Structure 1
Amino acid sequence: MVSQYGGSVRADNTDLVGMSADDARTARHVLTTLGRLHLLIGTILVAFGTLLSPTLLSLIGQSDLAIAHTLTAYCVYLPLMGMNGFLEAFVHCVATKRQLLHINTWMACFTVAYALFAIQMLHGSKLGSTGMVVANMLNMALRIGYCWRFISQWFRQLGANHGPRLSAMIPHPAVLYACLMSGAVILTALTFTSQQDLFSRVATLAASAVLGIAVLRVIWRFEQPFVQSVLALRSGQLQRPRSE
């Protein structure tokens, strides 16, 4: 079978022919665990980081709105960068030489698209450093989309039923709800209290810290299988799931 991403997986890479079903499940489990980790971190960053960035900056004497907007955008950019990192690493590990040439061509195209978009953000929209972060988000999104399609096809050509699923990476609904409610409380506090005096800013951060601890408790309560998977990965003693 010839891959639309360049070359035949079965014909060009004999390692895949001898890969067992357990190996395929392990690879899928690792990708799913890493994806869930980055989406979980991203959810927390969006709920807390995007709202509290201006307050944190004001405490260290930085009241520039441009810096605050850039830091807020960066909280969204970080999980995208992390997702792209491990997906692209996996793709480069399993791709054949012919596929790598095809992949690098696409990555070069994404870099050109990023450069054009960054110029538009800087000079057209005049968003400054925030625009650069937004342009990087587009670049990461394009790379993630390409890598996801490649990995999905790689698993199909390997004979596995399916590759990693986005639904398996999404945090538990209780965690999402806890982050959503925490964000709503923080937004309400920022809206109805004056952030000009030191006491209000410290009080807001203190309340946010309490909410953050509550979110961590929810994660510990409802994400135990995920937590155990992360600990197993960290220790190098991955336990293969019986089913996914």
Structure 2
Amino acid sequence: MPPPKVALPPPRADAASGLHYLNMRDYIAGRITAGELKPGARLPSERDLQTGAGVARGTIREGLFQLEAEGIIYRKDRSGWYVSPPPVVYDPTRWDGFMSYVEAQGRTPSTETLGKTEIACDALLAEVFGRPIGSPMYLIRRRRYIDGRAVLVESIVVDPAMAPGVLSHDLDRSLTSILKSAYNISVARNRVEMQPCALIREEAEALRVKSGLPGLSVVRTSYDALGRVVEFDREYWRHDALKISVDIRLT
């Protein structure tokens, strides 16, 4: 089925103000809000949008970039602009892993291992794991998808002393499940730190987004029942893919 076409209104009369891109932004956002453009629908090409609006190509792009920054639309490489799907809801106080909470919301998760190698423990990792600087550590880098769209890239560090040979496993699976089934290691506590960030360099490239777009940085340190660090995970999320929700009950 071909994507819906958007017929843009004529530019505003106050052309000298340079607000044409906001007019286009408001019009497309309004069509999405009204349900005329569904999640996943492809927008017309920039050339078609330019023809429909009768304004400069740069003005069209400014409007699209504004919608992208707001998380309303997103780009696919060599494919065009699409309406963003609803974000998944994440509760950092719950124990559900990525695969579980994404599936529970009727979405399809998947994982792609980008790299796995042995590294030397630096000062930060020495503090996190309580290991001497220079000690061998495992580094796993993965990209994770929801409904086929890349939404986060993560770097996970695991101590070989706790999970020797873990790099030989299929790391497209749940690492938590691998650690539990193959090494009898269970997570008893998580410390999670989140803050806004800009997606730049390799994170932006891995997520196929424009460098400098806003994102969410999540740093997770997982401990077993003895207080040992099981894994140290740094995640970089697309800003439009995740919604934080915490249900706090007062007793």
Task: Give the TM-score of the pair, scaled to structure 2.
Answer: 0.25
Structure with greater helix percent:
1
Between 1 and 2, higher relative CO (CA 8 Å, sep ≥ 6) is seen in 1
